[in-house]
Structure 1
Amino acid sequence: MIHQLEAIKERFNEVSQQIMMPEVVSDQKKFMKLSKEYKDLDKIVKQYDSYRKLLSDIEGARDILITEKDEDMRELAKAELDELVPQKEPMEDVLKEMLIPKDPNDSKNVILEIRGGTGGDEAAIFAGDLFRMYQRFCDKMGWRLSLTDYTEGSSGGYKEIIAQIEGEDVYGKLKFESGVHRVQRVPATETQGRIHTSAASVAVLPEAEEVDVDINMNDIRKDTFCSSGAGGQSVNTTYSAVRLTHIPTGLVVQCQDERSQLKNFDKALTVLRSRIYEIELQKHNDAIASQRKSMVGSGDRSDKIRTYNYPQSRVTDHRIGLTIYNLSAVMDGDIDEFIDQLRIAENAERMKEGAAV
């Protein structure tokens, strides 16, 4: 471990020098890449420096016990060791976790897409409930959520809703939410009091930047139309809504949330870039799937990942077998325990991979 940490510190020093070079500062792509690497390495180096100081303090206290004759000094050294030695193992555990290879997308913002699935009107209502759950979670995390596009359900909720979420480590926390979410409850539209099962799909896409995906603007067809959502007097009178079609892939994205056509174009382009990036990312993941069988990392939208059972106030994550009997709190954005346990499971998988190499 020390050898790895020394190599990281050496690389950190190299990046610290490179990031100040004029030729790097003038190259936006290279500067952004090195800035991200600097930020990631800085956390590890600071932890390693603290660990080395702890080892040095422990060694100093032990030297006093060996060489010092004064009993008061020896007692002080013993007290210091009693305080320092218990800190060593937890600090090593933190460093080991920091050395686990991380998903390079974890620090990215995300595009959140929720769609009602099987269940008709009830599925759309449930999609709206899920969106509210993520809204509450974003508020708690201090993240910024902004709508891109949505289609309302005939009885409430959304047939489809797309939003952009910005903040720290957003993808790292929300990536496990991708998949099919199932709900079991008596719908408001049910007259017989029978429990129905409905579903909604959630997709969490890492927001791709220009450095990640190079899109030829000649491959994009832009159409404008009148917004059909809330927006005041400009709705249905100005062509502010934007639809983008990526001709090589056939992907279509639209945005009508902003009053400005330019802002809607920028938002739609961000979503389009992220969807193209996800396609490339999926190709990469498929290529290494035979080597890596993570229980939580697939993010396959066809996987049934979680069930929300209203009669029993129960929420179960099927990937890790975790059940929480506090559905109202979960639907109010309290999904931390699921996210924490899924991240622990992913780290365990990564540690197994590291040991197998």
Structure 2
Amino acid sequence: MLDRLQALADRYDKLSELLCDPDVSSDPKRLRELSKEQSDLQGAYDAYTEYKQVSEQFDGAKEMLGEKLDDEMREMVKMELDELGARKTDLEEKVRILLLPKDPNDDKNVIVEIRGAAGGDEAALFAYELYRMYNRYADTQGWRTELMEFTENDVGGFKEVIFMISGKGAYSKLKYESGAHRVQRIPVTESGGRIHTSTSTVAVMPEVEEVDVEIFDKDIRVDTFCSSGAGGQSVNTTKSAVRVFHVPTGIMATCQDGKSQHENKAKALQVLRARISDIQRQAEEAKYAGERKSKVGTGDRSERIRTYNFPQSRVTDHRIGLTMHKLDAVMNGDIEEIVNHLTLADQADHLESETMGA
């Protein structure tokens, strides 16, 4: 680990030299690439610098303990040694995490798809509430959201909604949200006061550049139609809505929220690329992980990553056994604590895998 950290520190110092080079500063593309590389190394570099300082202080205190000291001084050195030892252990854990291979998609924007699954109108209403939750969370992060496609039901819920969240680190924080989200509550339409269980599914996919997934014109079929609102009511008479069908994979994407046919086609292709890339990524993961369920699952009531229990104001993430009694805050976008716990759990899994593979 120390060899890797030293190599990282050497590279950071080299980048500092290069960024001061006039030839580099006069080349915007090269300057941008090197600046990003150094920025990516910054956290590990700072942690390693602190680790070296603490290690030197620890060794110095240990050496002092071997000298002739009076009882009071010896006790002070022992206390300092304990504190430095604890800091050193914490920093070792921190740099181990920082040295884990970074997900290349972490800094990308995301395309989020939410669908009402089991539960009819109640599932669609919950899908809308999840959409609002992620929008409010995006606001707290300084991210921008853009609605791409949606289908409403007659009671104000979403049968399906697709939107983009743009901002640094969006995928790194939202990638754990994919799966079936279960809600338990008494629907407004329930006259008997019984608690119902419904589910909505969430899929979070990193935005894919054209160069990453190339779609050829000969492989797609483009259909245009009039945009429509809730209940199938036509909201315009021009064929601005676009449906793109990718023949080789059978994957389809639709967009009607843009102002023009051209804009809707561009957005539909964005969604299409993300879906194709997601399928390819799942296929690659399956080679190493064996058979695995699809990212979202069937949406059946028994499948869930998280439960939102309204009568008890309780949110439970079943993957990590986390339970919180602050449902109102969570539904208003306060999901940072959940995101942090999921990130730490994922890091712990990677550390364990790395240790077993060492």
Q: Distance in 2 between matches of 1:64 and 1:312?
A: 57
Q: Distance in 1 between matches of 2:166 and 2:187?
A: 33
Alignment of 1:250-265 (within 5 A): 250-265=250-265
Q: Distance in 2 between matches of 1:33 and 1:215?
A: 27
CA contact (8 A) 1:229 1:256 kept: no
The range that moved more, 30-39 or 198-207, is: 30-39
Counterpart residue type for residue 40 of structure 2: D
List per-residue Cα deviations over 1:118-169 (Å, max 9, x = no partner).
Answer: 1111111111111111111111111111100000012121000000011121
CA contact (8 A) 2:202 2:296 kept: no
Tell me: CA distance 1:243–1:327, structure 2 relative to 1, closer, same or farther (3 Å): same
CA contact (8 A) 1:202 1:301 kept: no
Following superposition, the deviation at residue 324 of structure 1 comes to: 1.2
Tell me: CA distance 1:343–1:83, structure 2 relative to 1, closer, same or farther (3 Å): closer
Alignment of 1:165-180 (within 5 A): 165-180=165-180
List per-residue Cα deviations over 1:2-50 (Å, max 9, x = no partner).
Answer: 111123345556778999999xx79x9x999877655423432343344
The SS at the match of 1:149 is strand
Q: Distance in 1 between matches of 2:31 and 2:242?
A: 32
Counterpart residue type for residue 149 of structure 1: E
Tell me: CA distance 1:141–1:226, structure 2 relative to 1, closer, same or farther (3 Å): same
Alignment of 1:102-113 (within 5 A): 102-113=102-113
The SS at the match of 2:289 is coil
CA contact (8 A) 2:111 2:163 kept: yes
Counterpart residue type for residue 199 of structure 2: A
Instruction: Tell me what 2:318 maps to.
Output: 318
Q: Distance in 2 between matches of 1:275 and 1:56?
A: 51
Q: Distance in 1 between matches of 2:199 and 2:339?
A: 20
Instruction: Tell me what 1:184 maps to.
Output: 184
Instruction: Tell me what 1:124 maps to.
Output: 124
CA contact (8 A) 1:223 1:243 kept: yes
Following superposition, the deviation at residue 352 of structure 1 comes to: 0.6
Instruction: Tell me what 2:41 maps to.
Output: 41
Instruction: Tell me what 2:204 maps to.
Output: 204
Counterpart residue type for residue 265 of structure 1: K
The SS at the match of 1:304 is coil
Q: Distance in 2 between matches of 1:346 and 1:48?
A: 22
| Count, aligned residues | 340
The SS at the match of 1:221 is strand
Tell me: CA distance 1:272–1:319, structure 2 relative to 1, closer, same or farther (3 Å): same
Q: Distance in 1 between matches of 2:184 and 2:279?
A: 32
Instruction: Tell me what 1:239 maps to.
Output: 239
Find out whether 1:248 has 2:244 as its counterpart: no
Counterpart residue type for residue 217 of structure 1: D
Runs of 4+ with deviation above 6 angstroms: 13-22, 30-35, 57-67, 77-86
Instruction: Tell me what 2:223 maps to.
Output: 223
The SS at the match of 1:181 is strand
Q: Distance in 1 between matches of 2:195 and 2:80?
A: 63
Q: Distance in 2 between matches of 1:16 and 1:283?
A: 40
CA contact (8 A) 1:227 1:240 kept: yes
Following superposition, the deviation at residue 61 of structure 1 comes to: 8.8
Gaps of 5+ in 1: 68-76
Q: Distance in 1 between matches of 2:353 and 2:6?
A: 22
CA contact (8 A) 1:175 1:299 kept: no
The SS at the match of 1:106 is coil
The range that moved more, 210-219 or 125-134, is: 210-219
Tell me: CA distance 1:343–1:298, structure 2 relative to 1, closer, same or farther (3 Å): farther
Tell me: CA distance 1:197–1:65, structure 2 relative to 1, closer, same or farther (3 Å): closer
CA contact (8 A) 1:317 1:323 kept: yes
Tell me: CA distance 1:250–1:13, structure 2 relative to 1, closer, same or farther (3 Å): farther
Instruction: Tell me what 2:145 maps to.
Output: 145
List per-residue Cα deviations over 1:246-297 (Å, max 9, x = no partner).
Answer: 111111111111213332222211111110110111011111115x99xxx9
TM-score by length of 2: 0.81
Q: Distance in 1 between matches of 2:285 and 2:17?
A: 34
The range that moved more, 176-185 or 81-90, is: 81-90
Following superposition, the deviation at residue 52 of structure 1 comes to: 3.6
Tell me: CA distance 1:187–1:54, structure 2 relative to 1, closer, same or farther (3 Å): same
Percent identity between matched residues is 50
Find out whether 1:286 has 2:286 as its counterpart: yes
